[in-house]
A and B are shown apart, each in its own frame.
Chain A
C-alpha cells in the first residue's frame, strides 16, 4: 500500500524533471541559434546519438567495466583502511596524537598530482588506478569514522557503565551504532571520490577505462562522444550514491540525520 504522492506537497517531483527537459530544449535550439559550431558544443540530440553508438559497442562496455572495478576496489580498500585506522584513532589517544599530524599533512598534498607516481610504481594496469581511487576516497571517510565514533551520547555510555559494561561492550553497543550515520555520510562521499580517482588515474596512463575513452574521444575531436562518456560517468556516480543511500536507509533506520564532513 503506497500512499499517493501529492504533488502540491512535493512539487520538486515535477519541477526537477521539468528543469531538465527545459534546459535540454534551450540547449538544443540555442546552440544553432547563436551560431555555435556543434562540433565544439554538440546539441543534446547529437550527444544522445553518440551515446547510442557507444552503448552498442562491446569495447565501450569493456571500458565501463574496468572503471567500475577500479573504483569499487579502490573504494573498498579505502573504506576498510578508514574503518580500521579511524577506530584506532578514536579509541586510543596515543595513536591519535602520534599519527594525526601525518594524516593531516598527507591530506594537504594534492593527490591528483601523485597519479604519475602511482603509474610509475604500479604500472599502466588497474593497480595504479585502484590506488589512486583509494587515496582520494580515504580521507573523507576516515574523518567521518573518527568523528562518528566520538559522537556517542555521554548519557548512553554512562547508562551502559552502570549496568556493568566494559570498554568493549560500550564500543559495540553504543559507539559503533552512534557512528553509523557518520560512517554512511563518509561512504557517500567516498564512493563518488573513488570514481573521480579512477578516472584521474586513467588520464595519466592507461590502456582502457572511461577516463582513457574520454581522452581518446578528445584526441579524435569527437566532442559529442566525450559528452556521452561524461553522461555515463555521471550516471555511474548517481547509481553508486544511490546504493549507499539504500544501505543507509536499511542500517540507520532510526535517524535521518547525517552530518556530512567534507574533505
Chain B
C-alpha cells in the first residue's frame, strides 16, 4: 500500500491512453456528495446525491441558481477539488486530480498576457510535456478553425474579449482531451458576442467531437447548446431534473424563437420560480 504514492507517479500513469470504456458512460457521476467542514462549526453541504452519466460526444449543460454548487461540481470533475463521497469517473478513469483527458474553459479567458496567442494555446502541451512540433500544427489548425489565423503572434491585450475566449477554447482543445469542461465560458461577454460565440461553440463541437459539460446561468443558452440540461436545486445542490432537449441539429439562433425551445426554457425556469429565485 505504502508503495503507491500519489503525485508524480500518478501523473505518469495518467499519461497512458484510456482503457476500453463504455462510450455510453463516458462521464460517470454517482452518489456525489460535497461538504465543507469549517473549523469548529457545522459542515456546509454544497452538493448532495448527484448522479448522472454523459455519453461520448454529448453536450450537456448544468444550470442552477447562484450558489447551488454547479461550479463546485465542475471543479470536482476537473480534479481541482476533492469530493467528499461518491464516484466520479471520466473516460474510464477515477478523478483523483487533474486528468490529461480533460480540457477546461474558464469564465474569464485567463490567457497569460506575457505569451502570444499561439504560446497560450500551447500551455497544456508544454505543461504535459507533449511533442511540441506535433501539437503546434494542431494549435494552428484550431486557431484557424475559430477564425484566429493571423493572430498567432499577437498578445492577448490586442484581441477583443470574444477573440480571447476563442483562444481559450483552442487552449482547452489543443491536447485533444476526451472531455471539455466549461465554467460559464461566455459569462463575461456582452449579449451579442455571447450569441455569436454560442453558434461558434456548436460549430467547433461538431468539428472536434468532444464531450462537453458546460456550466451556465443562462437557461436559453443551455437549451440552445445542449443535448441534455441538468437542473440543480439551490444549496445543497441536488438534481432537480434532467431535461432532454430534442431540437434538431445543427441549430441556428432562430431555433430559440420556436415554441418548442420556449417550452424547454419555461420548464427549466419553473424549477427556479417555484423557489422564488430569479436567475437570468
Task: With a 10 A CB-CB cut-off, give which of A153, A158, A162, A255 has the most chain B CB atoms.
Answer: A162
Interface residue SS majority, chain B: loop
Give A134 to B104 CA distance when docked, in angstroms: 46
Give A253 to B11 CA distance when docked, in angstroms: 35
Interface positions, chain A 130-180, Cβ under 8 Å from B, are 153, 155-156, 158-166, 169, 173-174, 177
**Pairwise interchain contact A155-B110, C-beta atoms closer than 8 A:** yes
Nearest chain B CB to A162's CB is how many angstroms away? 5
How many residues of chain B are within 8 Å of chain A by beta carbon?
24
Interface residue SS majority, chain A: helix
**Pairwise interchain contact B112-A162, C-beta atoms closer than 8 A:** no
Give A186 to B176 CA distance when docked, in angstroms: 42
A163/B123 contact (C-beta < 8 A), A158-B80, A254-B155 known: yes
Cβ of B124 under 8 Å from chain A:
yes
Give A215 to B48 CA distance when docked, in angstroms: 78
**Pairwise interchain contact B128-A162, C-beta atoms closer than 8 A:** no
Which of chain B's residues has its CB closest to A169's CB?
A: B127
**Pairwise interchain contact A162-B100, C-beta atoms closer than 8 A:** no
Give A105 to B98 CA distance when docked, in angstroms: 43
* CB-defined contacts of A253 to chain B, threshold 8 Å: 114, 155
How many residues of chain A are within 8 Å of chain B by beta carbon?
19
**Pairwise interchain contact A254-B157, C-beta atoms closer than 8 A:** yes
Give A153 to B110 CA distance when docked, in angstroms: 9
| Pick from A156, A158, A161: contact of B112, CB under 8 Å | A156
Give A163 to B112 CA distance when docked, in angstroms: 14
* CB-defined contacts of B126 to chain A, threshold 8 Å: 169, 173
**Pairwise interchain contact B102-A162, C-beta atoms closer than 8 A:** yes
A159/B106 contact (C-beta < 8 A), A177-B112, A177-B114, A255-B113 known: yes
**Pairwise interchain contact A155-B124, C-beta atoms closer than 8 A:** no
Give A162 to B95 CA distance when docked, in angstroms: 12
Which of chain A's residues has its CB closest to B102's CB?
A: A162
Cβ of B78 under 8 Å from chain A:
yes
Give A162 to B128 CA distance when docked, in angstroms: 11
Nearest chain A CB to B173's CB is how many angstroms away? 12
Can you report 7 residue pairs joining A to B where beta carbons are below 8 Å apart?
A: A158-B106, A162-B78, A162-B102, A162-B104, A169-B126, A177-B114, A254-B114
Residue numbers of B with Cβ under 8 A of A are 8, 11, 78-80, 98, 100, 102-104, 106, 108, 110, 112-114, 123-124, 126-128, 155, 157, 175
| Top-6 shortest CB links A-B | A254-B113, A163-B124, A165-B127, A162-B104, A159-B110, A177-B114
